[in-house]
Structure 1
């Protein structure tokens, strides 16, 4: 008789509890996935480019331009390393707000302290003269949570005493 009553009752409490226990992780994963996907911001096609400057007027260095629709975030870092000289000089910043950190005589770290507006350009120029043989390589790194689809995150400047080339 007990068996007959159980069959007529339908679903037991034990079955409901087991089903609920298995559904909690599935529901939690479904809720967490959109949050994780939304946590990365795409700043688009920003560009880091080397520049030779203008002899006697503007020193060589780098420009970084934010993409056309999204600002570059504060915390974006440009790491510059040089070769061929004992010291890559003092860097000045125009067009944005950034700190210049001396890592060694031949390397600098430039960190945006405020966002660089969409389409805006920040210039980092050194006191080196293009009449001296040297190379400068720059690499931009976005802070955690940001990506730059289509971005150009590296540039260089090379001077041979006579010619200067930049990418």
Structure 2
């Protein structure tokens, strides 16, 4: 008659020993989602703003281009900035009031769909939750194509003018204790304006003025 093997009951110390090895693995796996969830998402309440600067009506802008060889320089004044008023200060907003930003690119679009990048007005700045803060300076766009034309006594207006300003910004917001998050964003303004002046044989002067909407 064959011998029947009987299983020995598990020793209590063996069970505890196996549980001790398994516990850190389970704990580590459970901690991963918590660590990911603790990093906040970039806020969507920071938008393109039009602060009141130097007594000018928000968004009002003027510029004059001296044209030579059908090209001129258009300087946009410092009437643009970051609007963080929609963020508010509440228990839902975990970010500290002050934040910093870096402007990495500013692009002007003209009515002929040509685009130009500024090498002026880029760099670091600071803002605050619940306020509209202006950029530190204006933007300058060189070698803008301005064809021959005349404004017909101010009735029709010179044909080529700015229509859009796009600024790429990277904000850094602080939260918790010594924690921060970088948030890239693209801010857009539509430029509504009028151009007067004349360009003939590639030479002339064109004056731009108007308002902006974010």
Q: TM-score range by the shorter chain?
A: 0.5 to 0.7
The structure that is strand-richer by fraction is: 2
**2:81 alignment partner in structure 1:** 63
**1:24 alignment partner in structure 2:** 24
Shift of 1:160: 5.1
Q: Secondary structure at the match of 1:156?
A: strand
Instruction: Name the TM-score, length of structure 1 as normaliser.
Output: 0.55
Q: Deviations over 1:13-38 (max 9, x none)?
A: 2x444333333222013234333322
Q: 1:145 aligns with which of 174, 181, 186?
A: 181
Task: For CA contacts below 8 A with separation 6 or more, give which structure has more relative contact order.
Answer: 1
**1:11 alignment partner in structure 2:** 12
Are the counterparts in 2 of residues 62 and 123 from structure 1 also a CA contact under 8 Å? Answer: yes
Q: 1:120 aligns with which of 120, 127, 131?
A: 131
**1:106 alignment partner in structure 2:** none
Shift of 1:123: 1.0
Shift of 1:142: 3.2
**1:82 alignment partner in structure 2:** 108
Structure 2's unaligned 5+ residue stretches are: 51-57, 64-75, 90-94, 141-157, 173-179, 196-209
Instruction: Name the TM-score, length of structure 2 as normaliser.
Output: 0.45
The structure that is helix-richer by fraction is: 1
Q: Secondary structure at the match of 2:22?
A: helix
Structure 1's unaligned 5+ residue stretches are: 92-99, 102-110
1:156 aligned to 2:189?
yes
Are the counterparts in 2 of residues 49 and 62 from structure 1 also a CA contact under 8 Å? Answer: yes
Q: Distance in 2 between matches of 1:10 and 1:127?
A: 78
